[in-house]
Structure 1
């Protein structure tokens, strides 16, 4: 909206969000080959665009700004102290959700036993380099209050001495590409995961045998969220649910699957402690500043739990009926 000089986006934000989700779903309906090709192109655009902006920001402030990697610089304390810092980490965890997207693509990779781990390591290395470049570029050009004021355009402001107004335009282009490609990849991986859960009788499905029903369910729920909630509330809701799910999975591994998967118990235990370390302060701060978000999150969690409980119970009833028919036939 900033590119088009729209001061009050109003209804345009949810409209554009719904269009983006619908477009990503349409790409997934075409097939895996188009998803793979689009992922390669958009990844190159994202990495190239972000790197160009970050390097421009570093050049604008001088190579000496690289000392920011080891220098604390502006020691402005975070809002709400350490609790505010840890709560902010809860939101940044969503930036790393893409690594779970890689694992959901395992069945579509050539030689997944080798390429899955390699893909994750390469992705982490690229993200680390890019994030460090962004930190150096932004912190070398802007103070903390300026970064807060610039918000989504902080990197464009840092690169402004070299790119001028084109910095904002390039940032918008990269953001649009990143959003669309992220939606395409997320819908693909989540629908595949939902397919697996539905086949296992762990998640509900739609009537009939439509092959893309998991994609329809995933995209439909995403559209409802985008249409009725603002992006900051969606991010907060997603962070709470994601961390809660992570804790539940680790507990399940420790209690029920530790021998089956030969788990090293201390690893999921440490993960649970770290999840709680950021989840508890985030929920506490949100309960004070945005109790409606906490209420909505609790409602969504209860709806998910109820849907799965009904589905699993129905599967159990169907299994018992099948066993009774087999015994009757025998």
Structure 2
């Protein structure tokens, strides 16, 4: 999750056809190596009971044996910075998506407007993010976001499968991606519904709202024509 933001930045990337694939390969490989190293360090520093106890701050706890409380504090601060970076990237990516969709006439052209030299979608996304963060529980946001991401990934892979000849791609990879994302979505809903119905309802509400808003917008545009 998060790698899709690379594509959202394509309008601002020099020679995107060449550099975006490179960005994907480099970032995925780097993250895999980084996560494997982190896993080795964590398991080497803590036993499994300690990992289970400190599951919410396990990396900070893993720094304690070598660096003490200073290491714990450093990792905690680094985690906060990383979180801010992720939020910033998500908001930026979301604003670019709304801008591009509006340019393709799938959203009102007002979304292509700029405020303080930034797409208006950036401020809308930031406002909605703050609203959700301050009114919903974290677990509800997490589940709704996970379902949303899985569905988006499934649809992107499905489109990649359908347009494989046009984009000169491999049909098998996006087909597998579509199937696995779809299965993961169903499993997630089944698993979480008994304990987190609100999160599932929020996700369903967002999806339905998107379809309704798009339907109303398209209908209003047809009337103008």
The normalised TM-score by structure 1 is 0.62
The normalised TM-score by structure 2 is 0.88
Q: Which runs of 5+ in 1 are unaligned?
A: 1-95, 322-330
Which structure is richer in relative contact order (CA contacts within 8 A, separation 6 or more)? 1
C-alpha contact (below 8 Å) 1:203/1:307 kept by paired residues: no
2:19, 2:169 → 1: CA distance? 21
Superposition map of 1:197-236 within 5 A: 197-204=101-108, 209-211=113-115, 212-236=119-143
Corresponding position of 2:150: 243
Cα distance, 1:115 vs structure 2: 2.2
After superposition, what is the alpha-carbon deviation per residue over 1:30-67, rounded to whole angstroms, capped at 9, x for unaligned? xxxxxxxxxxxxxxxxxxxxxxxxxxxxxxxxxxxxxx
Cα distance, 1:286 vs structure 2: 0.4
Q: Is 1:152–2:56 an aligned residue pair?
A: yes
Q: Which runs of 5+ in 2 are unaligned?
A: none
After superposition, what is the alpha-carbon deviation per residue over 1:8-31, rounded to whole angstroms, capped at 9, x for unaligned? xxxxxxxxxxxxxxxxxxxxxxxx
Q: Rg: which structure is higher?
A: 1
2:165, 2:223 → 1: CA distance? 29
C-alpha contact (below 8 Å) 1:203/1:308 kept by paired residues: yes
Corresponding position of 1:264: 170
Of 166-175 and 243-252, deviating more is 243-252
After superposition, what is the alpha-carbon deviation per residue over 1:211-242, rounded to whole angstroms, capped at 9, x for unaligned? 43211221121111111112222111111011
Corresponding position of 1:183: 87
Cα distance, 1:271 vs structure 2: 0.6
After superposition, what is the alpha-carbon deviation per residue over 1:104-137, rounded to whole angstroms, capped at 9, x for unaligned? 2222222323322222222122211210111111
SS of the residue corresponding to residue 27 of structure 2 reads helix
Structure-2 change in CA distance of 1:171 and 1:205 (3 Å): farther
Cα distance, 1:145 vs structure 2: 3.6
1:116, 1:207 → 2: CA distance? 25
SS of the residue corresponding to residue 151 of structure 1 reads coil
Cα distance, 1:189 vs structure 2: 2.0
1:115, 1:260 → 2: CA distance? 20
C-alpha contact (below 8 Å) 1:205/1:214 kept by paired residues: no
Cα distance, 1:160 vs structure 2: 0.8
After superposition, what is the alpha-carbon deviation per residue over 1:132-170, rounded to whole angstroms, capped at 9, x for unaligned? 111111122333342232123211222211111112211
Structure-2 change in CA distance of 1:204 and 1:221 (3 Å): farther
Aligned residues: 222
SS of the residue corresponding to residue 167 of structure 2 reads coil
Structure-2 change in CA distance of 1:278 and 1:145 (3 Å): farther
Superposition map of 1:39-58 within 5 A: none
SS of the residue corresponding to residue 260 of structure 1 reads helix
* CA RMSD, Structure 1 to Structure 2 (Å): 2.2
Q: Is 1:315–2:221 an aligned residue pair?
A: yes
